[in-house]
Amino acid sequence: MRDPIQYLGPRLKEIRLKSGLSLREVARQLGVSPSFVSQIENGKSQPSVATLYSFARLLGVPVDVLFESQWNGKVANDAKTEVEQVSRNTFETPSDAWDESRARISAVNPSNRSLITMDSGVQWERLAATSEKSVNFMEIIYEPGAQSNESGELIVHDGYEYGYALDGEIEVTIGDLVLTLSKGHSIGFDSSIPHKFRNIGTVDFHGIWFVHGCAGLKK
């Protein structure tokens, strides 16, 4: 007999798709981040009872339907390929990108990381979620040709950024300074200086990034 909890996420995704609601619209109506909804649908996070009731009410189904034992575990083809992309301009600071789930101790493994995919070919993977709100610790992934945002504009926000290149090569522009960050190289800078990143190589760029003190937007 199947464990209904194990298939709760895909079941939620199937019902949401049948309702015609996008992942982003569900997140907006529930007052949570798209990454939080995505984590639940992909089985990387278990929702609270209150969240389940909110889902059921929004989707117009009884809570019991979410745990139907006769569900065959199949998800529509469009559900398998659905990737929710966002714009970097959606976030005033990197710390705004994630949901409010935080703790004094945060242990994360590759199977339960929050993932944000941007329309500019960039991915952010959250590496920890402690109770300190004005920080962001993540792995960044830039596809070949990808840049910080689609427009190529420089970004400005509060805080300081520290990065370490794991693989690939990325062009870093900070004010009038343009430099290349490649495997084994690291960098730190004041994020109030206009900046952007662009993958100038032919392979994905992977880096570990830490942004501290990103409490608000500075123009």
Is residue 219 one of the residues assigned to a domain? no
116 shares a domain with 19: no
90 shares a domain with 134: yes
Q: How far is Cα of residue 78 from the mean position of the Cα atoms in its chain?
A: 20
Q: Which phi and psi angles does 66 have, rounded to 5°?
A: -70, -15
103-141 pLDDT, tens per residue?
A: 677 777 776 677 788 888 898 888 887 777 778 899 999
Give the SS3 label for residue 181: strand
20-62 pLDDT, tens per residue?
A: 888 888 888 888 777 778 878 877 777 777 788 888 888 888 8
Domain residues for the domain of 158 are 86-212
77 shares a domain with 114: no
**For residue 123, what is the domain's CATH number?**
2.60.120.10
Q: How far is CA 177 from CA 140, 169, 171, 174, 200, in A?
A: 21, 17, 10, 5, 16
pTM of the model: 0.63
168 shares a domain with 95: yes
Is residue 1 one of the residues assigned to a domain? no
Closest CA to 143 of 169, 166, 125, 165: 169
91 shares a domain with 27: no
CA distance 199 to 143: 7
CA distance 96 to 100: 9
